[in-house]
C-alpha cells in the first residue's frame, strides 16, 4: 500500500470531487485495511500471532473517510480495534504485521502488540486497550495544538462502548469550554463485546455531546463519501478555531469481537450479519458507485486489489521472518 502508483499530492485537505485520484486512494485504503485484516485473521488462526486480534472488517469506511481529511501531522488516538485507524492514518503494513507478531521491526519494537500501535511519524498517539482510555489524550493533543498554534487537529476514535465511561464526558466538557480542535468519532458497530448497545446506552447519543454545546452529527458509517464529507466539514471547522465536534458513525463489525469469538448466535443472528455484509458493505457500495460514475472500471479495481494482495504477501513475509527483540530489551524504555 505504501508504494502505490497512484500518488495523491493533495491528500490532506483534498475534496474528493477535485479529481478521481482521491476517491481511488480512498478505495485503495479501504481495500488495504480489509486485506490486512484478512491476513491477521489467517495469522491468528494459524497460531502465528499471539494475544488477541480485534478485526476492523466492515468498518473500513469510518477510518478512511475520516483520515482522508487529515494532514499527516494531525493526531489520532485509536482503540483495541485499531488496525484500520493506524493504516488509514498512514502506517505501513509490514511494520504493523511485525508489531502484531511481537517483532523488533514493529512500530513499538514488539512491546505494544495489536492493541497498542503508536507512531509519531503519522500522528498516531496510540491505540488503547482501555475502553475510553484515550479520550483525555486526544483532548490533550488538541489543547497543545491550540496552545502551540500549529493548526493541527486531533481525532479521538472510540467504540460506542466508551459512551459508558465518565472520562469521555469530562473530556468533552473541557474541549468545549476551551474550544479545542478535537473530533470525537464514535464508531457505533452495534455491540459492546457481546451485548447490544441498546442494553447499555440510555437516551439519545447525540444528546450527550449536545448537552455540552458540542456540534454533533450522525452519518452512515458504511458510506465512505458521506463520512468523508461530514469529517471534512468538522475538521475544517475545528482547524479554523471553532471548537470540537462529535461524529456518530453507524457501522457493523462483521466478525467476532475478537478472532476467537466464533459462536455468536447467542447475541446476534447469522441473518443480521449476512444482511450487513450483503447490503451494507462499505467496499462493495463504494466500488459500485465508482464504476457507475465511471470513476473506475471493475478491471481497475481488481488490479488494485491484486496489487494490494501481493504487497500484503510481502508485508506478512517480512514480519514472519523478522527477528524478535532480544530479551535484554525488556528493561529499555520504562523511563524516558
Partner 1 sequence: MSTPEMKSVMEPAAAQRELTLGEAIKEALAEEMRRDPRIVIMGEDVAEAGTVFKVLSGLSAEFGTDRVIDTPISEAGFTGLAIGAAMTGLRPVVDIMFGDFIALVMDQMANQAAKVHYMSGGKWKVPLVMRTTLGASRRSAAQHSQSLHAWFSHVPGLKVVLPSTPFDAKGLMKSAIRDDNPVIFFEDKMMYKLKGNVPAEDYAIPLGVADIKRSGDDITLVATSSMVQVALGAAKMLEDAGISAEVVDPRTTWPLDEETLVESVKKTSRAIVIDEGYARYGVTAELASVIAEGAFHYLDQPVKRIGAMHVPIPFSPPLEDVTVPTEQMVFEAARGMCRRS
User: Residue 189 binds which one of ligand TPP, partner 1, none, with CB within 5 to 8 A depending on kind?
Assistant: ligand TPP
On whether the CB atoms of residues 105 and 318 are closer than 8 A, the answer is: yes
Tell me, rounded to whole angstroms, the distance of Cα 21 from its chain centroid: 21
Which one, of 205, 282, 197, 201, lies nearest residue 247 by Cα?
205
Residues 39-98 that bind partner 1 (CB under 8 A): 50-52
Please report whether residue 161 would count as binding ligand TPP according to CB under 6 A.
yes
Cβ-in-10-Å burial (0-12, 13-18, 19+) of 244 comes to buried
Please report whether residue 167 would count as binding ligand TPP according to CB under 6 A.
no
Of 148-156, 158-166, 208-216, 242-250: span binding partner 1 (CB under 8 A): 158-166
User: Residue 191 binds which one of ligand TPP, partner 1, none, with CB within 5 to 8 A depending on kind?
Assistant: ligand TPP
- The grid cell for 295 is 470513476
- The per-residue b/e assignment along 132-153, b for 16 or more CB within 10 angstroms, e otherwise, is bbbbbbbbbbbbebbeeeeebb
Which one, of 280, 263, 287, 260, lies nearest residue 40 by Cα?
260
Q: Where are the alpha helices (DSSP H) in the chain?
A: 20-45, 60-67, 83-88, 93-100, 135-148, 166-177, 207-211, 224-239, 270-279, 282-292, 298-321
Specify the DSSP class assigned to residue 273.
Answer: H
Please report whether residue 51 would count as binding ligand TPP according to CB under 6 A.
no
User: Residue 331 binds which one of ligand TPP, partner 1, none, with CB within 5 to 8 A depending on kind?
Assistant: partner 1
By CB under 8 A, name the one of 129, 206, 229, 277 that touches partner 1.
129
**Residue in the block written with cell 462529535:** 246
Please report whether residue 173 would count as binding partner 1 according to CB under 8 A.
no
By CB under 6 A, name the one of 23, 44, 157, 191 that touches ligand TPP.
191
- HSE (side-chain half, CA atoms, 13 Å) at 303: 7
By CB under 8 A, name the one of 7, 148, 149, 166 that touches partner 1.
166
By CB under 6 A, name the one of 37, 74, 119, 160 that touches ligand TPP.
160
On whether the CB atoms of residues 247 and 184 are closer than 8 A, the answer is: yes
- The grid cell for 122 is 503519522
Dihedral Cα 118, 63, 84, 145, nearest 10 deg: 0
Residues 66-85 that bind ligand TPP (CB under 6 A): 80-81
Please report whether residue 193 would count as binding ligand TPP according to CB under 6 A.
yes
Of 29-37, 156-164, 260-268, 273-281: span binding ligand TPP (CB under 6 A): 156-164
Please report whether residue 330 would count as binding partner 1 according to CB under 8 A.
yes
By CB under 8 A, name the one of 34, 39, 54, 103 that touches partner 1.
103
User: Residue 90 binds which one of ligand TPP, partner 1, none, with CB within 5 to 8 A depending on kind?
Assistant: none
Please report whether residue 192 would count as binding ligand TPP according to CB under 6 A.
yes
The answer for residues whose C-beta is within 8 angstroms of residue 86's C-beta and 6 or more apart is 78, 96, 107, 117, 119, 122, 124, 127
Residue (80 or 83) nearer to ligand TPP, CB: 80
Of 3-11, 108-116, 175-183, 294-302: span binding partner 1 (CB under 8 A): 108-116
By CB under 8 A, name the one of 68, 135, 176, 192 that touches partner 1.
192
Give the other-Cβ count within 10 Å of 5's Cβ.
Answer: 7
By CB under 8 A, name the one of 86, 115, 175, 248 that touches partner 1.
115
Which one, of 209, 247, 253, lies nearest residue 228 by Cα?
247
Please report whether residue 218 would count as binding partner 1 according to CB under 8 A.
no
Residues that bind ligand TPP (CB under 6 A): 80-81, 129-131, 159-162, 189, 191-193, 257
Give residues in contact with partner 1 (CB under 8 A). Answer: 50-52, 102-103, 108-116, 128-133, 161-166, 192-195, 199-201, 266-267, 324-327, 329-331, 334
Amino acid at each position: 500500500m505504501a508504494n502505490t502508483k497512484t500518488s495523491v499530492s493533495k491528500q490532506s485537505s483534498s475534496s474528493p470531487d477535485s479529481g478521481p485520484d482521491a476517491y481511488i486512494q480512498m478505495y485503495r485504503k479501504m481495500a488495504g485495511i480489509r486485506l490486512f485484516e484478512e491476513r491477521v485473521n489467517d495469522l491468528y488462526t494459524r497460531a502465528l500471532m499471539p494475544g488477541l486480534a480485534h478485526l476492523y472488517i466492515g468498518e473500513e469506511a469510518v477510518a478512511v473517510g475520516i483520515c482522508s481529511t487529515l494532514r499527516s501531522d494531525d493526531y489520532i488516538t485509536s482503540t483495541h480495534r485499531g488496525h484500520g485507524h493506524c493504516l488509514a492514518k498512514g502506517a505501513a503494513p509490514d511494520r504493523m504485521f511485525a508489531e502484531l507478531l511481537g517483532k523488533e521491526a514493529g512500530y513499538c519494537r514488539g512491546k505494544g502488540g495489536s492493541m497498542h500501535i503508536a507512531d509519531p511519524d503519522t500522528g498516531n498517539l496510540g491505540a488503547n486497550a482501555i475502553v475510553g482510555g484515550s479520550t483525555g489524550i486526544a483532548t490533550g493533543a488538541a489543547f497543545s495544538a491550540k496552545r502551540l498554534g500549529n493548526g493541527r487537529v486531533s481525532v479521538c476514535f472510540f467504540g460506542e462502548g466508551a459512551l459508558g465511561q465518565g472520562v469521555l464526558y469530562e473530556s468533552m466538557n473541557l474541549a468545549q469550554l476551551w474550544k479545542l480542535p478535537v473530533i470525537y468519532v464514535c464508531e457505533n458497530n452495534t455491540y459492546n463485546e457481546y451485548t447490544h448497545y441498546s442494553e447499555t446506552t440510555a437516551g439519545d447519543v447525540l444528546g450527550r455531546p449536545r448537552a455540552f454545546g458540542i456540534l454533533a452529527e450522525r452519518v452512515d458509517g458504511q458510506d465512505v463519501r458521506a463520512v468523508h464529507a461530514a469529517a471534512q466539514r468538522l475538521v475544517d471547522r475545528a482547524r479554523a478555531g471553532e471548537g470540537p465536534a462529535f461524529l456518530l458513525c453507524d457501522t457493523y463489525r462483521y466478525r467476532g469481537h475478537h478472532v476467537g469469538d466464533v459462536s455468536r448466535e447467542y447475541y446476534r443472528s447469522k441473518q443480521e450479519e449476512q444482511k450487513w455484509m450483503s447490503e451494507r458493505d462499505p467496499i462493495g457500495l463504494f466500488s459500485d458507485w465508482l464504476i457507475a460514475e465511471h470513476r473506475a472500471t471493475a478491471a481497475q479495481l481488481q488490479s488494485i486489489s491484486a496489487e494490494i494482495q501481493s504487497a500484503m504477501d510481502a508485508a506478512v513475509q517480512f514480519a514472519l521472518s523478522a527477528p524478535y527483540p532480544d530479551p535484554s530489551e525488556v528493561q529499555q524504555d520504562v523511563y524516558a
